[in-house]
Amino acid sequence: MPTSEPVRLGRKRALPSCPNPLFLQWLTELRDEAKEKGLKIQYTYQKAISSLNKYPLPLQNAKEAKILQNFGDGICKILDEKLQRYYRENGPDAPSHTLPKGAPPPGRQDNNSLAPSRKKNAAGDQRKEGGGGRKKREYIPQKRSGGYAVLLTLYRQSQIPGSKGYMFKMELQREAQPLCDKSFTVTDVGSKYTAWSSVSTLIQKNLVIKTHNPARYSLTEEGLALAERLESIKDGTEEVDRGEVRSEGQEEEEEDSPGVVDLTGSDDDEEEGTHPAESLTCVVQPRGETDGTAQNSQATSRKPNLGSLLPGAYEIILCVDFIETTGGSQHRKQELVKELQRNGVNFDVRKLNVGDFLWVAREKVEPVPGQLRAPAGRELVLDYIVERKRMDDLCGSIIDGRFREQKFRLKRCGLRRPIYLVEECGTAASHLSLPESTLQQAIVNTQVVDGFFVKRVQDVRESAAYLTVMTRHLTKLYQNCTLICRSRELEGDGGSDDDDGGGPSCSLISFAEFNHGAVKNKCQTVREVFARQLMQISGLSGDKAAAILEHYNSPHSLLTAYEQCVSEADKEKLLSSIRYGKLKRNLGPALSRTVCQLYCTQGALS
């Protein structure tokens, strides 16, 4: 049987070579030996290979690899022994970060070798080598299954003139749902899988490729050919042998096998799958429907309503971060809850990854006969978010740097109306670590420079009163609006900044996407880490950091620019003419000199 092409998981563009090819080669050999013997440690070696591929720096010895995931004492000891043997055979000065001449270059990763093969397939391969046996059947997804819908949707999108060639997850789920009998977001009773689970099978079969973060899904050449056949079969122009037709349950079973490793797999896929009620694209078609023209026209006519909430079909709910009700001064925090209850505010306590209070439009859902609980309604986040600060908390957050970071995260959370709710401490303000004038200046800067709306109150009761008034105001403001779900993933679909929420239609983010995107310690890009690094410099605000990032998006690009400067004076003035903020002011020579000293000084700063 001709060998099939290896499954290509991950990025389209070529990845840089591993800076530790010797360790990579030895781990690959260890994994292959364990696989031949049927040992489960092969999966441990595979995880170590994956971690090593992601590490961008050369390692001098295996002990340094202990900082990587899946590198324990046993693996490090084996690699160190092999390294010492390599030095004895090639000399103590032999290069340890290049392969010996004539050695085959190790691949980045061989996931296909770990795909668990069934016994009947192994037996069939042996019969094939011996000259007998049947031909391996081709994988074709079952009609109206998740894989079928995803392939057809990606194919149709690729045929549109000017198509971008890929689709984001939420966009793909929304467009593929009318072609599938099973929901892409809500699990069936007694099952933990959705139609989206079949995407892992498509990736493993080299039909779909997943790249970038947020994930982008596109067809491979094999996937494009199969999708064309499915489209022609649907139109009745071709009849082919179904071959190996997998049901949804079989795809899910195959996905659960421990040997399949997805390089681009992220935690958000699994996390979103466990919260189906928070999704906004749940449309389940009856199993009896066909794929005819009538169904297509029906799906097209229903498309504008996917992810939208009509007036009267939702209610405005105040969401309170659970930190505001637990820990710290329990009496004061419980007083806030009692005041909200006394004022008749419809609120919900939950975990918010950014901010202390916000409002959601929750869909009104009728109970289903025969079910214990009514299905959870869809939720869209209104464009208002509140960060509550007491004067003592404000003082502490300024000292430890949380104040600037919180403002930076609030600006990037996707909501257009951030609010700072400042509670005065009365006479307690005179006993704080910072003078009151400094705290007042920080509040003014938050409003004038950062563009936040600042509301001052005296105590917890006034805070509850403000939240009550805001809840009633937003309820009236949105009562006649049709709310449409937008995704922050989609380019150019972020809505206009001048949208005040008072029009007949509003574009809002789902709560699930908002809260996941606001995770504090999630994996960050080099650009985000560079911005945080710059903001640690005294006097360098978020606007100034953003202006620097427009010219130099990474430390490497900034250091390259410094190296190209002729003199030290040019280095110190490199950033001085960069304009920032609405007034387009220059950063100035003082701040430019400070940044230059940080990145160009060898050794410790004096």
3-state secondary structure of 415: coil
Our answer to whether residue 356 is catalytic in this structure is yes
Query: Whole-angstrom Cα distance, residue 13 to residue 262?
Result: 17
Contacts 24+ apart (CB under 8 A), 262-271: 262/9, 262/111, 262/200, 262/203, 262/210, 263/9, 263/10, 263/50, 263/109, 263/111, 264/9, 264/10, 264/11, 264/210, 264/211, 264/213, 264/215, 266/213, 266/215, 268/516, 269/169, 269/196, 269/215, 271/516
Sign of CA dihedral 222, 223, 228, 230: positive
Placement of tokens 């007694």 in the chain: 190
Contact 46, 30 (CB under 8 A): no
Q: Are strands 216-219 and 167-168 parallel, antiparallel or unpaired?
A: antiparallel
The single residue of 110, 254, 278, 321 carrying the catalytic annotation is 321
Contact 534, 540 (CB under 8 A): yes
Q: How many CB atoms lie within 10 A of CB 426?
A: 10
Q: Which helix (H) or strand (E) holds 456?
A: strand 453-457
Give the C-alpha distances (Å, rounded to integers) separating 441 from 417, 455, 458: 21, 15, 18
Query: Whole-angstrom Cα distance, residue 555 to residue 526?
Result: 8
Placement of tokens 């794929």 in the chain: 291
Our answer to whether residue 543 is catalytic in this structure is no
Bridge partners of residue 483, in order along the sequence: 309, 506
* Residue-wise DSSP of 12-65: SSPPPPPS-HHHHHHHHHHHHHHHHHT-THHHHHHHHHHHHHH--S--SSGGGG
Closest of 251, 245, 149, 143 to residue 191, by C-alpha: 251
Strand order through the sheet with 216-219: 167-168, 216-219, 208-211
Contact 487, 493 (CB under 8 A): yes
Amino acid at 500: D
The single residue of 110, 181, 356, 572 carrying the catalytic annotation is 356
Sign of CA dihedral 256, 260, 266, 269: negative
**Close Cβ partners of 126 (under 8 Å, ≥ 6 residues apart):** 133
Our answer to whether residue 366 is catalytic in this structure is no
Q: Phi and psi (nearest 5°) for 281?
A: -125, 40
Query: Whole-angstrom Cα distance, residue 319 to residue 235?
Result: 49
Q: Which helix (H) or strand (E) holds 302?
A: helix 293-302
Q: How many angstroms from the chain centroid is the CA of residue 323?
A: 24
Sign of CA dihedral 587, 592, 595, 599: positive
Q: Phi and psi (nearest 5°) for 406?
A: -65, -40
Query: Whole-angstrom Cα distance, residue 141 to residue 137?
Result: 12
The single residue of 324, 363, 450, 513 carrying the catalytic annotation is 324
Q: Which residues are catalytic?
A: 321, 324, 356
